[in-house]
């Protein structure tokens, strides 16, 4: 069996990825610090869904369920992160753990430096000393910042972030490239575009809108509704990652010209991809789909654009589609339907 580390396994994407990889006979080790950025009970529910007994979780102790091992561990705990790599012979590492959220980064920037910079360095140093066949890490569509050239393509430059969250993700790309170059670590970065689906984060628009509509409360719609997002169903995201795992990049890419460098490729064993749906949806159409799934109208409170937000995200994902021979399969109506069914179970029936 191939042994794989997933950081942030109790997170939204990490949970779904672990579930998929376990079905494909991977030996999965997952870490998460279970912080309270949002309700830790949701993280525990995700772990329970993976078969972990969450009744007595102690820091840095291993909990097992068949081919899954879970350890409560913080990325900034350098000593125990290093020990984790010393005690395991990982074939692959999927690094999803991070301090998430654009708006929260406006009020607590230090959390992003600690987790997304210091924590990321601890993972890179661990891999440097304990090499793996492929290191895949989560970047973000937020790195495109002030760029208004759409669709966003990985060959675009990303030098104008509009939040500290975006700046840390841009830093991750630079740090990962440096380690790939210096230490020949096969590395792939993924710029995620708006991911949605069951067990989604409560701070995301789909969860907030669904909760408020069901409770008869107003929903705040920013930029007066004139926004669009490249919504991508989580099941399609994790299937894309699964297909990418064995495809580690090689050195001396033919697409790299040092006289005219493309940020997406390198002479090092490094690649960068957008991972999204390649089909942006207007925010108001998104809300209408939620209303249809809930069979209830929304009370809308239009607001101006918030600091740190961007008007549109739209991923050029042609390179990834061709690389892994897979395109997202889930349309918005079915994806939101799956989310609403799960929401009713997780948030309403289990209260």
**Residues 179, 215 contacting (CB under 8 angstroms):** no
DSSP per residue, 41-74:
HHHHHHHHHTT---TT--BT-EEEETTEEEEE--
- CA dist list (Å): 294 to 13, 182, 213, 349: 24, 52, 8, 16
Cβ atoms within 10 A of the Cβ of 118, count? 12
Would you state the structure tokens that stand for residue 320, as one six-digit string? 């990834």
Enumerate residues 6+ apart whose C-beta is below 8 A from 314.
Answer: 150, 151, 152, 228, 230, 278, 280
pLDDT tens digit string along 16-61?
A: 999 999 999 999 999 999 999 989 999 999 999 999 999 989 999 9
Q: What is the pLDDT of residues 196-226, one digit of tens each?
A: 999 999 988 899 999 999 999 999 888 888 7
| pLDDT value at residue 147 | 86
Report pLDDT digits (tens) over 175-186. Answer: 999 999 999 999
For the stretch 286-295, pLDDT in tens is 999 999 999 9
The mean of the pLDDT values for the chain is 92
Rounded to two decimals, the pTM is 0.93
Topology (CATH) of 3-196+232-276+314-329: Rossmann fold (3.40.50)
Compute the CA torsion angle 195, 148, 284, 165 (nearest 10 deg): 40
How distant is the alpha carbon of residue 44 from its chain centre? 18
Q: Are 305 and 311 in contact (CB under 8 A)?
A: yes
pLDDT, average across residues 8-12: 97
Contact criterion met (CB below 8 Å) for 136 and 244? yes
Cβ contact 79:93 at 8 Å:
no
Of the chain, the end-to-end C-alpha distance in Å amounts to 38
Q: Exposed, middle or buried, 215 (CB in 10 Å: 0-12/13-18/19+)?
A: exposed
For the stretch 255-314, pLDDT in tens is 788 888 888 889 999 999 999 888 888 999 999 999 999 999 999 998 887 776 667 778
Q: Could you give the residue numbers annotated as active site?
A: 165
């Amino acid at each position: 069996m191939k042994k794989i580390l997933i950081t942030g396994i109790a997170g939204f994407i990490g949970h779904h990825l672990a579930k998929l990889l376990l079905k494909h006979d991977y030996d999965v080790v997952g870490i998460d610090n279970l912080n309270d950025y949002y309700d830790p009970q949701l993280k525990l529910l995700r772990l329970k869904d993976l078969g972990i007994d969450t009744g007595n979780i102690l820091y840095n102790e291993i909990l097992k369920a068949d081919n899954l091992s879970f350890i409560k561990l913080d990325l900034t705990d350098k000593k125990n992160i290093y020990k984790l790599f010393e005690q395991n012979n990982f074939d692959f590492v999927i690094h999803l753990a991070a301090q998430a959220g654009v708006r929260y980064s406006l009020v607590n920037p230090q959390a992003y430096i600690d987790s997304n910079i210091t924590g990321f360095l601890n993972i890179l140093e661990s891999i440097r000393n304990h090499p793996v066949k492929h290191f895949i890490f989560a970047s973000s569509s937020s790195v495109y910042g002030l760029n208004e050239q759409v669709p966003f393509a990985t060959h675009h430059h990303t030098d104008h972030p509009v939040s500290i969250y975006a700046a840390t993700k841009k830093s991750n790309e630079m740090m990962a490239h440096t380690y790939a170059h210096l230490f020949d670590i096969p590395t792939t970065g993924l710029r995620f575009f708006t991911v949605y689906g069951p067990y989604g984060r409560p701070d995301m628009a789909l969860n907030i809108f669904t909760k408020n509509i069901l409770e008869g409360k107003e929903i705040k719609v920013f930029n007066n509704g004139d926004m669009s997002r490249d919504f991508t169903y989580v099941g399609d995201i994790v299937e894309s990652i699964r297909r990418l795992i064995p495809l580690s990049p090689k050195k001396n890419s033919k697409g790299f010209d040092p006289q005219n460098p493309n940020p997406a490729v390198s002479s090092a064993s490094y690649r960068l991809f957008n991972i999204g749906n390649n089909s942006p949806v207007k925010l108001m159409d998104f809300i209408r789909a939620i209303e249809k799934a809930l069979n209830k109208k929304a009370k809308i409170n239009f607001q101006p654009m918030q600091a740190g937000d961007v008007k549109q995200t739209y991923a050029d994902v042609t390179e990834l589609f061709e690389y892994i021979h897979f395109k997202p399969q889930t349309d918005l109506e079915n994806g939101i339907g799956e989310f609403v069914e799960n929401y009713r179970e997780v948030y309403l029936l289990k209260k």
